[in-house]
């Protein structure tokens, strides 16, 4: 963490490296003129930095529209080791994900022309589909692909030289169709982010590796875009959470610093979301249903449920419920406040994990 002692700007820590999708989400929520935006290596690092007070805010991925929840983030909110007791969600951001295949220009092959049959031979390998004349040497995709979403994007250029792929594990699941069609059987290495993947490919000068990453990462690391928009679904979107440290006397309204956060809408009181986790007595029949019924009792619309292993006993779970509404400060009869109070009687333990303004445009 590089905290600049000469700057009074609050630090916002995000899952890096620079040019990651989380970086985009951070720029979406925080102005770099008001905040020092600091990349860290893991989601755990973001939580630790906010919990320790080093960072004013943190930004982490929470779920993807195609892949579902980011279980690493859920497990940090579950906090089985009691490392992050004060972390709460205070905002969200939605970033459209356009994955690209990034690599080096096809210079090696251009100087040693290989016949089409050699290059495309071995369809068992599943790569080597050629969309442009080899003699043109054009591996940079034109914008001539009118609708790359369905059936799927196609590479402009030869991928037969690609022997290794780098990306974040979630990205494989989001680009299944393209990768199965064009790079089936090619070795895959999981790395911590799509941006890190691009960096590793940039360092590999053999030209035999490629990354599933972003256009921004291509620019930063000087790579070619070998295929654009290779995700299975064109509306692929990742949702990010802004986290902060819970104050001593919770629940805080927006502070003066918060007001600098981009798009902070002081009028948007009517549309909030809340995240709550709870555990139940699994031996007690109906415990889960009773816990969930509490929210219904107070007219709270549950928008999602997630579960993770409780870490205490096999086949016991910690439940995460997201609902429309806000835990009110000082107003004990708000519906969320009342529901939380009622939870005491029916579940084993519960934790309020924050309330924030809904940013989902509908």
Site for a copy of itself in 184-203 (CB under 8 A): 187-190
Which CB sits closer to a copy of itself, 146 or 285? Answer: 285
Site for a copy of itself in 56-115 (CB under 8 A): 65-69, 71
**Which position among 282, 334, 338, 342 is part of the footprint of a copy of itself (CB under 8 A)?**
282
- Helices assigned H by DSSP within the chain: 21-29, 43-51, 71-78, 107-111, 116-120, 169-174, 176-182, 194-203, 215-221, 287-297, 335-346
Taking the complex as a whole, the smallest distance from the CB of residue 5 to a copy of itself amounts, in Å, to 28
**Which position among 154, 163, 260, 290 is part of the footprint of a copy of itself (CB under 8 A)?**
290
End-to-end CA distance of the chain: 37
SS (H, E, C) 194-231: HHHHHHHHHHCCCCCEEEEECHHHHHHHCCEEEEECCC
Site for a copy of itself in 296-335 (CB under 8 A): 296, 299-309, 314-315, 317, 319, 324
In whole angstroms, give the CA distance from residue 120 to residue 137: 16
Is position 180 an interface residue for a copy of itself (rule: CB under 8 A)? no
Is position 154 an interface residue for a copy of itself (rule: CB under 8 A)? no
In whole angstroms, give the CA distance from residue 165 to residue 201: 8
Closest-CA residue to 62 (of 33, 22, 101, 30): 22
Evaluate whether 181 touches 152 at the Cβ level (below 8 Å).
Answer: yes
Is position 116 an interface residue for a copy of itself (rule: CB under 8 A)? no
Structure-token match 């770099």, residue found = 32
Taking the complex as a whole, the smallest distance from the CB of residue 245 to a copy of itself amounts, in Å, to 26
Is position 348 an interface residue for a copy of itself (rule: CB under 8 A)? no
Is position 286 an interface residue for a copy of itself (rule: CB under 8 A)? yes
Binding site for a copy of itself (CB under 8 A): 65-69, 71, 169, 172, 187-190, 235, 237, 239, 282, 285-290, 292-293, 295-296, 299-309, 314-315, 317, 319, 324, 360
């Amino acid at each position: 963490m590089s905290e600049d002692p000469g700057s009074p700007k609050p630090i916002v820590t995000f899952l890096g490296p620079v040019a990651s999708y989380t970086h985009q989400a951070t720029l979406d929520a925080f102005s770099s003129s008001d905040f020092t935006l600091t990349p860290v290596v893991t989601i755990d690092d973001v939580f630790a930095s906010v919990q320790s007070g080093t960072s004013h805010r943190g930004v982490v991925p929470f779920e993807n529209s195609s892949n579902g929840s980011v279980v690493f983030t859920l497990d940090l909110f579950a906090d089985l080791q009691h490392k992050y007791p004060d972390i709460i969600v205070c905002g969200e951001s939605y970033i459209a994900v356009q994955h690209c295949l990034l690599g080096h220009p096809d210079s090696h092959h251009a100087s040693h022309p290989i016949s089409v049959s050699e290059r495309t031979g071995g369809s068992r390998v599943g790569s080597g589909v050629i969309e442009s004349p080899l003699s043109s040497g054009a591996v940079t995709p034109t914008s001539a692909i009118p609708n790359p979403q369905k059936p799927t994007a196609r590479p402009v250029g030869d991928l037969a030289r690609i022997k290794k792929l780098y990306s974040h594990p979630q990205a494989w699941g989001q680009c299944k169709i393209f990768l199965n069609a064009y790079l089936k059987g090619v070795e895959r290495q999981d790395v911590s982010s799509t941006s890190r993947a691009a960096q590793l490919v940039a360092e590999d000068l053999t030209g035999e590796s490629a990354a599933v990453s972003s256009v921004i990462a291509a620019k930063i690391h000087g790579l070619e875009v070998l295929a654009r928009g290779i995700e299975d679904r064109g509306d692929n979107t990742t949702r990010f959470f802004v986290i902060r440290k819970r104050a001593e006397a919770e629940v805080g309204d927006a502070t003066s610093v918060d007001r600098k956060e981009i798009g902070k809408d002081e009028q948007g009181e009517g549309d909030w979301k809340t995240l709550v986790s709870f555990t139940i007595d699994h031996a007690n029949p109906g415990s889960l249903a009773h816990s969930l019924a509490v929210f219904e009792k107070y007219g709270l619309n549950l928008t999602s449920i997630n579960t993770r292993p409780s870490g205490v006993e096999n086949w016991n779970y910690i439940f995460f419920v997201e609902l429309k509404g806000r835990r009110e400060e000082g107003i004990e009869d708000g519906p969320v406040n009342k529901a939380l109070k009622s939870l005491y009687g029916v579940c084993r333990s519960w934790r309020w994990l924050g309330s924030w303004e809904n940013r989902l445009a509908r």
